Amino acid sequence: MKTIYHFCRISILMMALLVGFTVNSKAQHFPDELHFNLDWQVNAPVGYDFADKLSGWGMNFEFGYEVTDRWSLGAFANFHTNHGYVGRETIQLSPNEALTTDQQHSSFQVPFGVLASYSLYDNGYIQPYVAGKVGAMYEQNTTYLNTVSFYERPWGFYVSPEIGINIHPLKYGRFGFHVAVYYNYATNKTNLLNYQEDGKNNIGFRVGICF
Amino acid sequence: MKKLFYLAIGAVMLSSCEKDPDMNQLDSDFTVYTQYDEVADFSSASTYYLPDSILTIGDGMKAIYWKDDNAQSLLAQVASEMNLRDYQRSEKKEAADLGIQLTYVETNTQVTGWVGGGWGWDSWWSPSFWGPYWGGGWYYPYPVSYSYSTGTMVMEIVDLRNAPVDETTQTQLPVIWQAVSSGLLSSSNHFNLQLVERAIDQSFTQSPYIQNNVNNK
């Protein structure tokens, strides 16, 4: 709990820093068509039991440029860490090798790439949208034993549909709040002890600011 | 310049935000790894020889023979495990089919380059301990890639059945089973001993192929 609090505090501090630098010093120079999102995110891997516990250790950053009234094109990057504890078990590593241990799994994901979003409605206060993201994903999967750890760092192709909403307290104001839910799939592959990953699915949601 | 600043912020955010897992969630028991020669015939061996001491490797890679009550307790446990598998303890190593050697590494120095036949230190178990004809060094009949560090118990079974009749012939001694148990040590010797005892028990539990089928017929 203390760790989560610490992480949230750092995240809020960094968000404030970024907002401060972008809004206060540069906002007046940004074209109206350019908008940014900065989010805290909660992510859960699905369909795979390596580091499969839901966590809030992640952030998302993206920007988009309105090429038409409804369409925006842009780029994104985010990171997330999920963990999972596995109790003591005997693993048959090969026909003549066995290993008895418990494990602490950690999966760190950093996808980035381009996005396209389509605005479903806009009355100046709320702006629901759907978006699609494609790109690459760097991943570091690590299994920690009591004195050693093993890791793999694969790259993969990344795709993610998303649905969300921007909420502006002031009509057509630049600053607002952002909420989104997403699914993503990446083609990363890892093979750590008795855990083989062949593609990765995640679901989650994001809460943050837009400006 | 400001673009660089934003890039730097982004890079820092991405690289510094990997959350480390809670390592305290891991239990304190040793990790137990076993490997054996699939070709070796454990079932036809009937006797084993177990020395009266355990080699301990401390700082400076100095080997000391550990013979106190704690060592005797661990050796008795190994003997009990072997007896439960219907092997008979031999008083003479020359008459034994199998030899068991225990090494306990408690140094903070990572031990590498030992396995795979590169037996470079006189202070470790010497092949000649098992007879003058085992002068060709050790060999592992299976690929080995392991290194040892703090709090590691290494148990090995060597196959003594193919000793040459002619003592002038130098032959390699096969290590047909190894069990490597590693973990963090506490400040309590009593607790550390319990961890090693549990690791020895687990080593044999996950090695059911160590079973004599001659003496129990």
How many domains are there within chain A? 1
Domain for residue B210, yes or no?
no
Residue A36: what pLDDT?
94
| B204 Ramachandran zone, left/alpha/beta (phi>0; psi -120 to 50) | alpha
Out of A54-63, A197-206, B151-160, least confident range: B151-160
Query: Looking at the partner chain, which of A77, A97, A147 has a beta carbon nearest the beta carbon of B183?
Result: A147
pLDDT band for position B59 (cuts 50, 70, 90): low
Torsion sign across C-alpha atoms B52, B54, B55, B58: negative
Residue B95 lies in a domain: yes
| CATH number of the CATH domain containing A124 | 2.40.160.20
Indicate whether B179 belongs to any domain.
yes
- Give the phi and the psi of residue A3 in degrees, each rounded to 5: -65, -45
List A36's β-bridge partners, or say none. A63
The Cα A192–Cα A195 span in angstroms is: 5
Interface of B with A (CB under 8 A): 2, 5-6, 9-10, 13-14, 17-23, 25-38, 142, 149-151, 182-184, 202, 206-207
Residue B217 in any domain: the answer is no
* Closest residue in B to A147 (Cα–Cα): B183
Residue-wise pLDDT tens digits, A112-154? 999 999 999 999 999 999 999 999 999 999 999 988 889 999 9
Instruction: Look up the domain containing A86 and give its range.
Output: 2-210
* Dihedral over Cα of B203, B209, B212, B216: its sign: positive
Q: Which residues of B touch A95 (CB under 8 A)?
A: 38
What is the average pLDDT value for chain B, to the nearest integer? 80
The answer to whether the CB atoms of B32 and A99 lie below 8 A apart is yes
* Domain total in chain B: 1
Q: Nearest 5 degrees, angle CA A31-CA A35-CA A38?
A: 145
**Residues spanned by the domain of B191:** 2-205
Give chain B's end-to-end CA distance (angstroms, integer): 84
Q: Which residue reads 């979003």 in tokens?
A: A117
A98 neighbourhood in chain B, CB within 8 Å: 33-35, 206-207
Residue B26 placed within a domain: yes
DSSP state of A29: G
Reduced to 3 states (helix: H, G, I; strand: E, B; else coil), residue B97 is: coil
In-domain check, residue B212: no
For residue B181, what is the domain's CATH number? 3.30.160.670
The reply to whether residue A140 touches residue B18, judged by beta carbons under 8 angstroms, is yes
What interface predicted TM-score (ipTM) does this complex get?
0.80
Assigned domain for B25 exists: yes
Q: Is the pLDDT at A2 greater than 90, yes or no? A: no
Nearest CA in chain B to A53: B21
**Chain A residues within an 8 Å CB radius of B33:** 97-100
Q: What is the pLDDT of residues A22-77, one digit of tens each?
A: 555 444 567 888 999 999 999 999 988 899 999 999 999 999 999 999 999 999 99
By Cβ distance, the residue of A96, A106, A110 closest to B14 is A110
Instruction: Give me the residue from A77, A85, A147 closest to B10, CB to CB.
Output: A77
